[in-house]
Homo-oligomer: A and B are copies of this chain.
């Protein structure tokens, strides 16, 4: 059985050293840490630099993690995501009369990439670049239901209670997620903010992988009709916008 590719192992070790150092490192420091001759380490780190995974300071010659690492983690660049989704999000707010949220998964939270105010002139504060708990918002639950790879399992979440309606047990949350999957849409009935409801659909990129959630929010009695389902004309617009944005995400840029 063939072994590992030694030079790739060594390159990975260099990346770990630089990532964990807390400061830029000199070639000699890398060589000493790896117990390898300087020309050996030089060839490796120069290749990593040329690939963008390591940056080298021009005057000090010190090496540090490179900006090219940012693109390797998978998931969408939030600025690109916002640029592709914002026109449809703005139109959705106009068409539904609701606030609109575009959310991406970050650890145990839903990070708001874009936020459109409810167009009724009521007092609202901008939430772009804030984070909200996955388990208590429609867009958070949407990510939990449809993006299992990018979100933690329900049992690993701290199910903090925000209102009397928050899902505060794993069984309860799992039931919400199952319902969302069955419906193709997640909802919340005032689980994060009392009296404020939400509904959200997944945004999918190439291959069908869910990368973000698109949600609308309004007072619970405006968003939901009898039977506890979102009002039909609102749900239809949300689903339509979700499909259109997803189509934009499939296309390479």
Instruction: Write the residues of chain A forming the contact surface with B, with a CB cutoff of 8 angstroms.
Output: 2, 4-5, 7-9, 11-12, 15-16, 18-23, 43-44, 46-48, 50-53, 64-65, 69-74, 76, 109, 129-131, 149, 205-209, 211, 249
* Contacts beyond the supplied A4-B43, A12-B52, A18-B72: 16 A-B pairs with Cβ under 8 Å: A4-B47, A5-B11, A5-B47, A12-B48, A15-B53, A15-B72, A19-B73, A20-B71, A21-B207, A22-B209, A23-B207, A23-B209, A69-B69, A109-B129, A130-B131, A131-B131
A12 touches B211 (CB 8 A): no
**Interface majority SS (helix, strand, loop, mixed), chain A:** helix
- Residue in B19, B43, B131, B249 whose beta carbon sits within 8 Å of that of A5 in the complex: B43
B8 touches A211 (CB 8 A): no
- A22-B209, A71-B19 known; A44 and B130 CB under 8 Å? no
B7 touches A5 (CB 8 A): yes
B46 touches A206 (CB 8 A): no
A-B contact pairs, 19 of them (CB 8 A): A4-B47, A5-B11, A5-B44, A5-B47, A8-B44, A9-B47, A9-B50, A11-B11, A15-B53, A15-B72, A19-B74, A21-B74, A21-B206, A22-B249, A23-B205, A23-B207, A69-B69, A69-B72, A70-B73
Collect the chain B residues with CB atoms within 8 Å of residue A9's CB.
47, 50-51
- Residue in B5, B18, B22, B131 whose beta carbon sits within 8 Å of that of A206 in the complex: B22
Collect the chain B residues with CB atoms within 8 Å of residue A23's CB.
205-209
CA distance A79 to B52 in the complex (A): 27
Taking the nearest CB of chain B, how far is it from the CB of A70, in angstroms?
Answer: 7
